[in-house]
Amino acid sequence: MTFLWPDMLYLLVVVPLLVLAYWLLLRRKKKLAVRYASLAMVKDAMGAGQRLRRHVPPVLFLVALTLMIIAIARPQALVMLPSQHETIILAMDVSGSMRATDVEPNRLAAAQAAARAFVNDQPQHTRIGVVSFAGTAAVVQPPTRTREDIIAAIDRFQLQRGTAVGSGILVSLKTIFPDAEFDLRSWNPRADQSKSTPLDKAGRNDKPAVKPVPPGSYTSAAIILLTDGQTTTGPDPIEAARMAAERGVRVFTVGIGTEKGEMIGAEGWSMRVRLDEASLKQIANVTQAEYFYAGTANDLKKVYESLNSKLVFEQKQTEITALFAAAAALFALLAALLSMLWFGRIM
């Protein structure tokens, strides 16, 4: 536990001084009891339990005072609280490799089913957007709280050629920061490449560079990237992940498929599509997020359930002054109540 105003803790020296004053007061009363026979008789009439009871309200009051002083120092602690991830972007791979059946019934269908379950489990105030990517990336559903629109966008996925994981990350970033300066020509294969700029210099020609923030520090949005991880076109996904890290956005990666992979083909060609875990782990590490492996449909469902818990609750350094203040008020009220019930007076 830490304190925003630690110097205020010096006020705790008042507590032992009050204990000393209370002890001196008891000694004074004891001397008066010896001096006056009537007071001594009253003391003898009191049982041991009664004599102990009279110390309870002052002790409770001292506890309340101690808690109050700690509250004044504004304590902070790591506590589990609902996160501020108000926007979640689901970036989903719709490339041809997602029709592989090493995850039943196939990778895409399993991913869609798990995505629908994840959407339904999110708090109603959370906005969810959907980005699909293959050879290019596009926003198929801007962030919204309307669950029906999100699920309809997920159900409309159609397989396409190519896999541009980096494009999926960049379009997701652009969705979170619509006013940010991204040079979209750096990843758009249809743009005039003679006028494009390298990814690591995108948006830095005419305006000052973005001031980096600590990775994972942006707590209002997160990206969940679901793919088999095999990039075949577009920008380097690790460079795209670094751009996300500079803005504090975490990219949780979900690998779907198997390391062995599966042979797929059409119209006279065939290829083996494998899960590229190394790239997905690196993307997650760069952005201070986590990688999850989903080898089967059941694994994928568990991954989304795990992501849901991580996005809904987070351990945060939070001021807990109110807790100490409430505890101090409770102890003070209890001390006054017991004093009234037992002795007919407040303290």
Does residue 314 lie in a domain region? no
What value does the mean pLDDT take over residues 11-39?
73
Evaluate whether residue 313 is within a structural domain: no
Q: Are residues 190 and 326 in the same domain?
A: no
pLDDT tens by residue, 222-233: 999 999 878 888
> Do 148 and 12 sit in the same domain of this protein?
no
Same structural domain, 177 and 125: yes
Q: How far apart are the first and last CA of the chain?
A: 32
SS3 content of the chain, % helix, strand, coil (to 5): 50, 20, 30
Does a structural domain hold residue 306?
no
Q: Give the Å distances, CA to CA, from 322 to 68, 142, 329.
A: 10, 38, 10
For residues 94 and 106, state if they share a domain.
Answer: yes
Strand partners, 264: 271
89 in a structural domain: yes
Q: Is residue 305 part of a domain?
A: no
Q: What total of structural domains would you count in the chain?
A: 2
- Within this chain, do residues 269 and 335 fall inside the same structural domain, yes or no? no
- Are 133 and 174 in contact, with CB atoms under 8 Å apart? no
Q: Do residues 177 and 208 both lie within one domain? A: yes
Element (H or E) spanning 16, and its range? helix 14-35
Q: Is residue 308 part of a domain?
A: no
Same-domain check for residues 57 and 170 = no
How many other C-beta atoms are found inside a 10 Å radius of the C-beta of residue 236? 16
Q: How far apart are CA 259 and CA 284, in angstroms?
A: 18
Backbone angles phi, psi at 20, to 5 degrees: -60, -45
Please compute Rg for the chain using Cα positions.
32
The mean pLDDT of 157-178, rounded to a whole number, is 92
Question: Kind of pairing, strands 137-144 and 262-266?
Answer: unpaired
Quick one: pLDDT band at residue 346, thresholds 50, 70, 90? low
Q: Which domain CATH number covers 129?
A: 3.40.50.410
Q: Does 307 map to a domain? A: no
293 pairs with which residues across the strands? Answer: 255
Do the strands 2-3 and 75-82 form a parallel or antiparallel pair, or are they unpaired? antiparallel
40 & 137 share domain? no
Average pLDDT of the segment spanning 228-251: 90
Q: Are residues 75 and 157 in the same domain?
A: no
Burial readout 87-107 (b: 16 or more C-beta within 10 A, e: otherwise): bbbbbbbbbbbbbbebbeebb
Domain assignment present for residue 303? The answer is: no
Q: Work out the average pLDDT over 177-185.
A: 69
Distances (CA, A) of 63 to 43, 98, 140, 330, 344: 27, 63, 58, 10, 22
pLDDT of residue 180: 78
Within this chain, do residues 53 and 143 fall inside the same structural domain, yes or no?
no
pLDDT band of residue 84 (cuts 50, 70, 90) is low
Residue type, 115: A
- Both 71 and 98 in one domain: the answer is no
Q: Which domain holds residue 18?
A: 2-79+319-343
Q: Is 18 in the same domain as 162?
A: no
Q: Is the pLDDT of residue 252 over 80?
A: yes
